[in-house]
């Protein structure tokens, strides 16, 4: 996979993309991440890429010219599956979104800044708009790092145990169950007996029950999705009979 990130402040991405799982994936050659500085594509001596908004109002807007130049340059080299713009008014980023993006070959992620990018770029170049939450950051670089991390760890071969990603929270609209490690007893706090039983079927059933209980309590919105999917599945099974 190749991921090209277009940023006004690329330095913000240096830490998140050069550590831990993402860096190991890069070292293995499983992902090629290129960070491009938008200011390098400015057409003025000041490397300015923003201007005042038509119609007035506070805040600056990213001009269309430098964005078009870098996107045009990249798309001349290869075909991209998605050109993603990270913005507070995009679709919510979920585990399911990460799953689908991890199956792509080439992605561009455009980081927003100021009051955002000229709408014409969104209308004519961007194929998908994503937000990582209902809040506003100073720029899209941190959001791009979050998306990249979530996607890269799903690429086959990145994690030592590939089943690990399949048991993460949100994969089935369920939160992950509680986890324990040694020692068996710490300060009088004991690991649940079922986890020491050596019975895989009972352990998996316990984990499922705990995941469901945790999701019902902490994220009723996710639990409703699970219930709807179960109802839909039951309806499909009923139609087959």
Neighbouring residues of 41: CB distance < 8 A, sequence distance ≥ 6: 49, 65, 66, 67, 69, 70
* CATH code of residue 108: 3.40.1280.10
The neighbour count for residue 149, using CB atoms within 10 Å, is 17
- Domain of 236, in residue numbers: 167-240
136 and 184 in one domain? Answer: no
pLDDT tens, position by position, 49-99: 999 999 999 999 999 999 999 999 999 999 999 999 999 999 999 999 999
Length of the chain: 241
Task: Give the predicted TM-score (pTM) of the model.
Answer: 0.86
| Range list of β-strands (E), 140-216 | 185-186, 189-190
What was the pLDDT predicted at 218? 96
Q: Which of 117, 152, 187 is the last residue of a domain?
A: 152
pLDDT tens, position by position, 101-155: 999 999 999 999 999 999 999 999 999 999 999 999 999 999 999 999 999 999 9
171 and 145 in one domain? Answer: no
- Indicate if the pLDDT at residue 235 is higher than 90: no
What was the pLDDT predicted at 226? 77
What is the rounded distance in angstroms from the CA atom of residue 194 to the CA atom of residue 91?
A: 40
* Residues 184/191, Cβ–Cβ less than 8 Å: yes
Whether 221 is covered by a domain: the verdict is yes
């Amino acid at each position: 996979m190749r991921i090209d990130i277009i940023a006004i402040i690329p330095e913000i991405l240096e830490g998140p993309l050069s550590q831990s799982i993402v860096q190991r994936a890069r070292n293995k050659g499983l992902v090629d991440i290129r960070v491009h500085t938008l200011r390098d594509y400015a057409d003025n001596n000041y490397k300015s890429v923003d201007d005042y908004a038509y119609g007035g109002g506070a805040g600056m807007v990213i001009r269309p010219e430098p964005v078009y130049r870098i996107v045009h340059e990249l798309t001349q080299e290869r075909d991209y599956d998605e050109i993603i713009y990270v913005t507070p008014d995009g679709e919510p980023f979920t585990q399911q979104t990460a799953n689908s993006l991890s199956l792509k070959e080439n992605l561009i992620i455009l980081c927003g800044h100021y009051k955002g990018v000229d709408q014409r770029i969104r209308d004519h170049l961007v194929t998908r708009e994503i937000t990582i939450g209902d809040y506003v950051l100073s720029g899209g670089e941190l959001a791009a790092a979050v998306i990249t991390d979530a996607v890269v760890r799903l690429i086959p071969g990145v994690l030592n145990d590939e089943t690990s990603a399949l048991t993460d929270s949100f994969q089935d609209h369920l939160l992950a169950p509680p986890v324990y490690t040694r020692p068996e007893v710490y300060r009088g706090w004991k690991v649940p007996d079922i986890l020491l039983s050596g019975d895989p079927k009972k352990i998996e059933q316990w984990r499922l029950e705990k995941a469901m209980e945790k999701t019902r309590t902490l994220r009723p919105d996710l639990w409703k999705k699970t219930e709807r999917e179960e109802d839909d599945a039951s309806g499909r099974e009923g139609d087959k009979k």
